[in-house]
Structure 1
Amino acid sequence: PDPALKAQLLHESAMTEVSKGISPRDLGKAVDGHLAHADEQFAKGQYAPASVALYRALSLHFHRVLHIDQLSSPLAKDAEGFVAPLQKSPAYRAVARPHGRKTPPKSSPSDRPLRLLVTTSTNANFLQHILARYEDHPGVELRFLDLAAHKPFKKIAWAAPQMLEDRLSGGASEYQDDVERLMRPHLDWADTVFVDWSVGPAAMLTTIDPGDTRIVVRLHSYEAFTRWPHMTDFSRVDDLVFVAPHVKDLVTSLVPQLREASAPRMHILDNAMELEGFRRPKSADARFNLGLVGISQVAKDPRWAVDVLNRVREQDDRYRLLLVGNEMNPKTSKATADYLTQLRRELKPLEESGAVVRLGATDDVPAALTDIGVILSSSVREGCHVGLMEGAASAAVPVVRDWPFYAGKPHSARTLYPEGWVVDSPEEAAQRILDVTATEESWREACEQASAHAVGTWDWSVVQKRFDDLFLG
């Protein structure tokens, strides 16, 4: 049969199941169909149709319904096995081939400030303190570029099919000319470029040789479950920053280029968080308030927190659960909508009785945390759970689910946080809460220990020195 037609039919069948919020039974066949079509076109030198077929293969293989809008993911079970079919494809291997750079990055200047370009596309959530530090740093001249704020840049930053066509054609496409024209002036100005989030902009920037400019990319956690790291030429990245060891382990198992000699230097750097300001007085009543900060994604699994609440309330009905943040958007996917329906059903009687209080979104998280005495991390996966760390800094007792995506692996929640914070089950979580909050004295002692650890380990006053080392040497 015609490879294009076969791929199309398999794709439609798979997407029917995806639209229902479930992982397709024949996902492998559908992806293989697209790869076969891509390989056929690539062999003929038909790079445009080959790129479209490869784009569809990657988009299906890394569809958010499979990895992000579920409580599990094939990547959690067998990351290397999941990407193995891709690596059999000549078209995919052509895209993943490292091109390197003609000249190494130049040394930091000794006679003037370092020219640092920080760039992202829309999401600057984790850049606030970094930008503030280097804006006022005598050794740095800073520029910030939000690619999404400029239409020409936004167009090239997320143009996945064009990126793939450029790689398949060996750089002979018009796309590379566009990237060169738009990005070269910035590369010529900067000594160092810091790209936050290893998504479209990182893939875009690495389609061209950066010259003698140093390229630093930060990968959080979300990116690991997307196609973007597979479309990025990491041989043109000098330093790759991860927010946690378990994320580094996952991504290096997924992307063969990161295991080769051309791989960038790799670093683990905590997010920039000013935690000292979270230390505020808590009333005695906060001892009975469990808190969950951030409930907008299925991966946060707030139903686990509800299970814990129900268990502690069996012993003492003074316990409540405070939910901070917007709820998840049912329009994201059918899988998200299904989860939200179940969550709302479980919350309804608890809200009516006052056992659950939704605080909604807030611009003042430190104030919201003054009423929370126990901070939960109920997630199935995290990079580093900022809401949990902020809660611990505020002097709330941390109770962390051993995130199932990483549980039992060399690095996990258990290796990221102190012994005693992490629990295996809702039963164990409930028991930790009951034990620690048994008296106000025991609760306040645990609160102070948590706050001291959080501020002493993750506060920006500590972490900024490691960013200085990264950028300034």
Structure 2
Amino acid sequence: MKGTTVRPRALVYGDVDLNMIDGSAIWAQGMVQALARAGCEVTLVLKAAVRTGRLVDPLRALPGVTVRSPHAERLVDGSRAMAPKRAAAVLARIDAEAPHDLVVVRGRDLAAKLAAGPLSGRLWTYLTDVPQSATELTTADRADLRRIADASRILLCQTEELRGFLEGAVPATAGKSVPFPPVVVLPDGLEPRAPGTPDGRALRLVYTGKFAPRWNTYEMTSLPRQLAVRGVDAELHMVGDKIHDDPADPAFATRMRTALESGEGVIWHGGHARAEAMRLTAACDIGLSWRHPDMDASLELSTKVLECGALGVPVVLNRTPMHERLLGADYPLFAATEDDVLDALTLIGKNPDVLTLAADRCRSAAADFTLDAAADRLRAYLTRAFPEPSEQVLAVRGRRLRVGVAGHDLKFFTRLLDYLRSRSDMEIRVDHWPALKAHDEQRSQDLVDWADVVICEWCGPNALWYAEHKRPGQRLVVRLHRFELYAPWPKQLDIDAVDQVICVSPHYTDLTREITGWPAGKVVTIPNWVDDAQLDRPKLPGAEHHLGMIGIAPSRKRLDLGLDVVEELRRDDPRFTLFVKSKLPWEYWWIWQKDDERAHYEKVFRRIRRSKVLSGGVVFDSYGRDVASWLRRIGFVLSTSDDESFHLAPAEGMASGAVPALLPWPGAETIYDDRWIHETPQAMAASISATVSENRWETDRTLARTQVRNAYALDEVCRQWTDLLSGHSQTTPSPSRS
């Protein structure tokens, strides 16, 4: 996307046949509509030759949407639907005609093929067909998903459950996974079902979609007959024409077709365009989405359930944690067995109020899955993926600003680097040093010869080298962390060759000026970034009683003081639990070789083992990149360190909707509001207890989230870096306080 007047060009392909109605075909329709509404020029490529236009024709009529049929264009031979390998080649060929900004794909096999081709880096991959549990996920699966994640700009996840599972199982997905739930679009002119119950007619049940064993579609055909035995007059409307051939049950297709054609009380409408299928659904009373228990662990959400809800048609479905969060634990139409289904339908037949309650719940749930909501979501992702160019940046010699980044460890710079690379007004090259003091000198010199601006991440040997070798007129920016401030390199740095030194907090900015004696105007503060969009996820039940610590090594992180806090709380309320996400100290050789460090942790772990109050109250979770998912269970994030330069953990907790709780390490008050800082562990525990018992947790966490967004949100910090690199930074940022 080159500017505000240029619409991003999206190429869309689903490994789905749009001649048949099922959830994946509806996904393709909804994705194209949402992208178009979000401002994209959309090209949809079809997997199969068009045999019926009932799903495709409405898309052809949309402004800004082009439908490409490789079969009709003779890009493929024969009439068979494209296999993933062939589809990957066709998509690359279509893209080569006029490259697209993003390539939205559905289908794991296809995405794996595209990951190794020219579309890598532009993929927005919609992941659904992945193993649904850790026991099912093989080593080959993990490697496959890692390659897909590495090649994808964004991973679109249908549910929070799937997103969290992927981030825990495949670390490469963390930071790229974003929610994109099913899209529910009511056709023009179709009104939802009027509230009320059948009056003098049969209860109308409806199912739309594919007919397959685990979807219990054959069992559904016996419901009218069994309900008649219970005195409930009912008929079952079945919409669809895709009957599954099941290798494990070769007779299923014949049995299913016979039941559709001759089952008592069964009316088979066959396949229809989606608008007509929804019209048939709206004319019925109850939708059926009751499935085999094997599917209860699914991390995906049925589009049909949401469509029924939007139409005012309540649904019989399995009780799962996901469905309980969607509809409430007391939703009256949960069913696990055929008898449960019959009981629920009998209850509706004899108690009309139940139907009204269930319809209201489904209608309210579906309101979060509209086309407008999907378009808003995509618009936010597009804005972040394709930042608008700056006139200030483009003013440099009438071309893109050339920015070099040099350093041995870029882990604290990753998202800033992603952002800079995404800008159409900047060109980025990286000089990655293999070690702190080791680099390819020719590569570094090439960067000097090329760049307008060089950013040295860490004020180490890299900064010394670039300060010595920079060109006249070339700008040099050095980012200094706590680690280097007390090392010898700042004293050796030619500060006259440096344009600006960046520190991440006001306290360390002051310390740097004091220790080095550098000109005050050269040392400025740009805070650490917090990816607030990634961290903002719904909390899990019970989070208000869960404390979290991220990183407990070395000993100055003071896990012992965190134990003081949770021990104090558990004396009155054993629901309080401390969750620790960290590598353990013996996993750091440079820590564990020190006698005083080992002694500290031996004492801490001995205390945990022996304390009756702490027993069961401290949980150690594995270190990993899935912090955002882990924080869903955390209501308070603790910072009990002796000292920190910034301490990102409380800020990440705030962005997740947790309340920060800090001890007064030096400089904490320059980063975080005084209300979150407590003089002692006992005072911290008292504040946490009062926050929960006085029902202030929701209010406090909302305030904390607002504060962190105002001061440290990724977009805000990226804006400050853009101003700095363009030479228009005017003020030293300061945290939002109230």
TM-score of Structure 1 vs Structure 2, range by shorter chain: 0.5 to 0.7
Alpha carbons of structure 1 residues 234 and 365: separation in structure 2 relative to 1, 3 Å: same
Contact 2:431/2:447 (8 A) holds in 1: no
Give me the whole-angstrom Cα distance separating, in 1, the residues matched to 2:574 and 2:712: 34
Equivalent residue for 2:714? 460
How far residue 460 of structure 1 moved from its aligned partner, in angstroms, is 0.9
1:41-190 equivalences in 2 (<5 Å) = 109-121=396-408, 123-148=409-434, 155-156=437-438, 183-190=444-451
The superposition leaves residues 274-313 of structure 1 with CA deviations (integer Å, 9 ceiling, x where unpaired) of 1122122223411111110111222211111111111122
The superposition leaves residues 351-386 of structure 1 with CA deviations (integer Å, 9 ceiling, x where unpaired) of 982110001212211111111111101111112111
Alpha carbons of structure 1 residues 350 and 186: separation in structure 2 relative to 1, 3 Å: farther
Of residues 387, 407, 413, the one that matches 2:649 is: 387
Contact 2:513/2:523 (8 A) holds in 1: no
Q: Which amino acid letter does the alignment assign opposite residue 384 of structure 1?
A: F
The superposition leaves residues 62-93 of structure 1 with CA deviations (integer Å, 9 ceiling, x where unpaired) of xxxxxxxxxxxxxxxxxxxxxxxxxxxxxxxx
Larger RCO: 1 or 2 (CA < 8 Å, sep 6+) = 1
The superposition leaves residues 392-414 of structure 1 with CA deviations (integer Å, 9 ceiling, x where unpaired) of 111111101110xx2xxxxx211
Equivalent residue for 2:673? 418
Contact 1:288/1:320 (8 A) holds in 2: yes
Give me the whole-angstrom Cα distance separating, in 2, the residues matched to 1:417 and 1:354: 31
Q: 2:465 matched to 1:204?
A: yes
Alpha carbons of structure 1 residues 384 and 108: separation in structure 2 relative to 1, 3 Å: farther
Contact 1:192/1:215 (8 A) holds in 2: yes
Contact 1:108/1:191 (8 A) holds in 2: no
Q: 2:658 matched to 1:378?
A: no
Equivalent residue for 1:437? 692
Q: Which amino acid letter does the alignment assign opposite residue 279 of structure 1?
A: D
The answer to which of 111-120 and 123-132 deviates more is 123-132
4+ residue runs of structure 1 moved beyond 6 angstroms?
Answer: none
Q: Which amino acid letter does the alignment assign opposite residue 600 of structure 2?
A: Y
Alpha carbons of structure 1 residues 182 and 367: separation in structure 2 relative to 1, 3 Å: closer
How far residue 468 of structure 1 moved from its aligned partner, in angstroms, is 0.6
The superposition leaves residues 405-463 of structure 1 with CA deviations (integer Å, 9 ceiling, x where unpaired) of x2xxxxx2112211311111112111111111114x31112111111211232111222
Of residues 296, 299, 312, the one that matches 2:556 is: 299
The superposition leaves residues 295-334 of structure 1 with CA deviations (integer Å, 9 ceiling, x where unpaired) of 1222211111111111122222221110011122343533
How far residue 253 of structure 1 moved from its aligned partner, in angstroms, is 1.5
Alpha carbons of structure 1 residues 253 and 292: separation in structure 2 relative to 1, 3 Å: same
Alpha carbons of structure 1 residues 208 and 306: separation in structure 2 relative to 1, 3 Å: same
Alpha carbons of structure 1 residues 344 and 196: separation in structure 2 relative to 1, 3 Å: same
How far residue 348 of structure 1 moved from its aligned partner, in angstroms, is 2.5
Equivalent residue for 1:333? 594
How far residue 209 of structure 1 moved from its aligned partner, in angstroms, is 5.1
Give me the whole-angstrom Cα distance separating, in 1, the residues matched to 2:701 and 2:411: 27
Q: 2:524 matched to 1:271?
A: no
Alpha carbons of structure 1 residues 255 and 332: separation in structure 2 relative to 1, 3 Å: farther
Equivalent residue for 1:281? 538
Contact 1:350/1:356 (8 A) holds in 2: no
The answer to which of 300-309 and 351-360 deviates more is 351-360
Give me the whole-angstrom Cα distance separating, in 1, the residues matched to 2:484 and 2:600: 22
TM-score between both structures, scaled by the size of structure 2: 0.43
Give me the whole-angstrom Cα distance separating, in 1, the residues matched to 2:422 and 2:570: 50
Question: Match of 1:273, SS?
Answer: coil
Equivalent residue for 2:324? none
Alpha carbons of structure 1 residues 300 and 367: separation in structure 2 relative to 1, 3 Å: same
Equivalent residue for 1:369? 631
Give me the whole-angstrom Cα distance separating, in 1, the residues matched to 2:710 and 2:395: 30
Alpha carbons of structure 1 residues 155 and 240: separation in structure 2 relative to 1, 3 Å: closer
Equivalent residue for 1:360? 622
Taking every aligned residue pair, what percent have the same amino acid on both sides?
26
Contact 2:608/2:615 (8 A) holds in 1: no
Give me the whole-angstrom Cα distance separating, in 2, the residues matched to 1:395 and 1:332: 38
Coordinate RMSD, CA, aligned: 2.2
Alpha carbons of structure 1 residues 337 and 448: separation in structure 2 relative to 1, 3 Å: same
Of residues 467, 475, 478, the one that matches 1:217 is: 478
Alpha carbons of structure 1 residues 195 and 264: separation in structure 2 relative to 1, 3 Å: farther
Equivalent residue for 2:491? 230
How far residue 108 of structure 1 moved from its aligned partner, in angstroms, is 7.0
Give me the whole-angstrom Cα distance separating, in 2, the residues matched to 1:286 and 1:350: 24
Give me the whole-angstrom Cα distance separating, in 1, the residues matched to 2:611 and 2:404: 49
Q: Which amino acid letter does the alignment assign opposite residue 419 of structure 1?
A: D
Question: Match of 1:380, SS?
Answer: coil
Give me the whole-angstrom Cα distance separating, in 2, the residues matched to 1:225 and 1:305: 27
Of residues 455, 459, 472, the one that matches 1:194 is: 455
Equivalent residue for 2:342? none
Give me the whole-angstrom Cα distance separating, in 2, the residues matched to 1:389 and 1:333: 30
Contact 2:437/2:462 (8 A) holds in 1: no
Give me the whole-angstrom Cα distance separating, in 1, the residues matched to 2:424 and 2:470: 29
How far residue 203 of structure 1 moved from its aligned partner, in angstroms, is 2.6
Question: Match of 1:358, SS?
Answer: strand
TM-score between both structures, scaled by the size of structure 1: 0.65
